[in-house]
Structure formats: structure tokens, C-alpha cells
A and B are shown apart, each in its own frame.
Chain A
Amino acid sequence: MTEIAAFSERRPCIAGPYRLQWEDVQQARVLLFPEGIVKLNRSAGEILLRCDGKRTTAQIVAELESAFGVAPLGADVRSFLDLATLRRWIEWRTA
């Protein structure tokens, strides 16, 4: 329980070498990094767009639920952020 509580208060942030941007030609958000590119699906792009080091994961989840009218999204967001952490796309800032 305490771990989950801590998770919701933590603030993810796109990691140093990565840059998130919209690509018109691909009609998708992409992550750029040294000599590489990852094309993101819509939900991954929407989550990463909000990883700015200011929003907590709880705020990100609430925003997405309200923006897309779907709930609950907590588990999906968490599993994507776990993957993004593993791939070093994001870093974590504690509150």
C-alpha cells in the first residue's frame, strides 16, 4: 500500500537524452534519442506528453481519465510507466 501511495505522488519526467515531439509525416508522437527514434501509439504519446516533472502520476491519471472519458486508467498508466522506466525513457522526481 505504501509503495502504491508513493507511486501516485512521484513525478515522472522525460529522461535527459530523449525528446518527445509530434511528427506530421507519421501522424504520431515520437521519442527521439541519439541516432534513434521510437514511434509511439496514441496512449503512450498522451501519457509521455504529461511526464514533465511537475505532474504527479495521480494527476496524470486523473487528467487522462477526464480527457478521454474513460476510467479507471491507473493500472494501464502504471504498467506503461514501468515499461518506460525500464527503457530509460523517463526519470523520476520525488515530491
Chain B
Amino acid sequence: MSTTSAVAASVTPPLWLLAELTYTCPLHCPFCSNPVDFARQKAELSTGEWQRVFAEARTLGSVQLGFSGGEPLSRPDLEELVAEGRRLGFYTNLITSGVGLSPPRLRALKDAGLDHIQLSFQDSTRESNDFLSSTRTFDRKRRVADEIKALGFPMVLNCVIHRLNIEHVERIIDLAVDIGAEFLELANTQYYGWAFVNRELLMPTRGQLADAEAVVAARRQQLGDRLRILFVVPDYFEGRPKRCMNGWGSTFLCVSPDGTALPCQAARMLPGIEFPSVRSSSIREIWNDSAAFHRYRGEAWMPEPCRSCPERANDLGGCRCQAYLLTGDAGATDPACNKAPQHDIVRAAIASRARIPEMPLLFRSAANSRALSPPDSTSAC
């Protein structure tokens, strides 16, 4: 009927498979991207079920396999799963807090063929790292970083950035240099899951962000090839929506601990979409045929102003989860875009930085999870 829907969304392979092995995690970070109702999630996939998922995704063309969580080291079969992923021809990435990464396990992961490790810190000092993770883990992470280097793994250091640590960016860069990382990802907080609950306390001011950008620019110049630093200005502040997940159902397939297949880690909260389970459907059926993965594929779903926007091929209308969290409509233009009818919501959120409310940080814990999500509820933000 409409001219845009004539452009059928073509299905490309799910190059990136993210295996969220478990929501169990020793850390309690208040910016965690896991669903707020994680404590009410159902039973985890077994070793055999994961291995079937890997094989099916690989046949469909997946090449990158991320082991994430929660803390993937909480799974005693991690080494076995890595070995199977590697045997199938995946490039295997471990996304970890480092807690539980003992020298024997690290050695076993090396022997299993693990290709790469992304190690997270929460800040540059013991005090702040341990406060933000609500654990005493800084010294252990520091030791683990040396052990990872000693075994010759390529390593990315990752630190989630927010109002409480953004002024420490210089010291976080020093830490990465000290560790000898080749790559540092300063990941500005994206407001989903626990980060959305704590947004008022986590979102930096425009001034803090500008200062951090200046520090990063100066250190990039000084360090050159020694350390590559990724620092992406968050979409709230940029006025442009992000090309979320490279497009819904285009590249990225997330399988959550209970086997629910998602186009991104956060999408589970979207109402009115029944996300398929790997327990009852094959990866091919899920990726190629399911209504959920077709829902926002391509451009046919777009409302105005996206539909006629010359930039729609660049940003693909932004993020569906953010549109839902901020406007209540997952099909709306992402309010991060300054052309969005509801961009005022984002402007107001930034303006409110002048006065930070007095409220407690809500750390990610099973008790808080249960308190925030009624037993029968299937939704969570």
C-alpha cells in the first residue's frame, strides 16, 4: 500500500551471536544492562542446548561469538562451550569482570582456543571500583589483567562511564596504559535495565562530558598507537540517534540465559512482541521467519519523520528500546534524535542535571530485582 513497504527487508546473516550464559554475577553494578527482573528468569540452557545453538547459528553464518552474562565464569562449563565455539570456527570473545578467572581457568580457556578477552573495570581506583561494583574486586581484576597479558590474549579493557566516574577518565586511561592493554573502551552508559532505574544519578552533565572528551582527545594524541581509545559521545547529548545493533535483526542475535532469542539484550521488555525460544525453534526459524525478528527489520515500520528522512539509512531510526522507555511506543522515532517529535524528553533529562535528586543508587542484586518486579510480571525495564 505505502511506497516504503514495497522495499522488502532483506535478511542478512546474524554475524554476531551473543550468548548470555547466565544472569548470575558476583558484581552488583547499578548500571548493569541485564533486565531488572533477572532474579525471576527461568532455568538456564544446558551445555548441550548451547552447543546446538552455536552449531545452528554457525550454519547460518555467525562468526563472532560473545560469552557474556551476568558473569560467564559463573558457568562451570564455560571452557567446554568455548572449545565447541572455537571448533565450529567462531571467533570467541569472553566478556568478563575477571572475578573467578583463576590462573588454571585462564589456562584452560587458552587451551580451549579462546581468542579474545574483554575485561571490565568500574573505575581507576580500588575505592571507587569497589564502591561501584559493591564488591572488593579491584585488586583481583588488576592481577587478572596481568595474567591475561602474560598468556598473550588480545585484551580490551572496558569501563562503563557515568556521572560518578567520568571525571576519572584520565586515571582510567593511565590504568589501561599501566596494564598494557591495546584497546580501551570508555563506554558511556546506555540507559536500559538497571541504568535506566538509576539514570538520574548516572547521567553526566554536558560540562563533565565535554571535559572528558577533551582529556580523551589529548591522550589519544599523546599515546598514538600504544593505546587505542574508544569513546563514543552518548546519543542523549549528540542529538543524533545511534544506529542501534546495526539494525533490528540485521547482524546481532542475543540468546539470553533461558533461551529467549532477542535482537538486542534489552529488547525483552518490549510489550506485544513474543520473542521465540531456542528451546522450541531452530535459529534458522527464529532469524529468518519469526515475527519478532521481522518486526523492525528494514524501513517499512518507520513513522514520520524517519520515513522521509535522508538520514534514515544511516541511523535506521535509532533504538526501539529507548523509544519505548521514553515514549511508551517502541515504534516511535528515537527521542535522542533532535528531529523526533518527542525530543523534548531527552532535552529535559539533560537539563535536569543541574540538580541531582537525593535518592539512593539501586545496586543490581537479587533482592532489588525481586522488589522491582512483581512475581507475575513478564515486563521489566
Contacts and interface: CB of A to CB of B under 8 A. Distances in A.
Interface of A: 16-17, 19, 21, 23, 25-26, 30, 32-37
B61 A34 contact: no
Contacts of B91: 19, 32-34, 37
Q: Of residues A26, A30, A34, A36, which shows the largest number of chain B Cβ atoms within 10 Å of its Cβ?
A: A34
Interface of B: 13, 15-16, 59-61, 63-64, 66, 89, 91, 93, 115-116, 118, 152, 154, 156, 183
B13 A25 contact: yes
Given A17-B116, A19-B91, A25-B13, A34 B60 contact: no
Given A25-B60, A35-B64, 16 more contacts: A16-B154, A17-B115, A17-B154, A21-B89, A23-B61, A26-B13, A26-B61, A30-B63, A33-B154, A34-B116, A34-B156, A35-B66, A35-B116, A35-B118, A35-B156, A37-B91
Contacts, number: 43
B63 A23 contact: yes
Contacts of B118: 34-35
Nearest to B66: A35
Contacts of A30: 63
Contacts of A16: 152, 154
Contacts of A32: 63-64, 91, 115
Q: Of residues B63, B91, B156, B183, which shows the largest number of chain A Cβ atoms within 10 Å of its Cβ?
A: B91
Contacts of A26: 13, 61
A45 B13 CA distance: 21
A37 B63 contact: yes
B245 to A, nearest CB: 13
Contacts of A19: 91, 115
A35 B92 CA distance: 9
Contacts of A34: 91, 93, 115-116, 118, 154, 156, 183
A34 B60 CA distance: 20
B93 A35 contact: yes
A27 to B, nearest CB: 11
The 10 A-B pairs with the shortest beta carbon distances in the complex, nearest first, are A25-B61, A17-B154, A32-B91, A34-B116, A25-B13, A37-B63, A34-B154, A32-B63, A37-B15, A35-B93
13 contacts: A23-B63, A25-B59, A26-B13, A34-B93, A34-B116, A34-B154, A35-B64, A35-B93, A35-B118, A35-B156, A37-B63, A37-B64, A37-B91
A34 B228 CA distance: 13
Contacts of B13: 25-26
Contacts of A17: 115-116, 154
A37 to B, nearest CB: 6
Contacts of A25: 13, 59-61
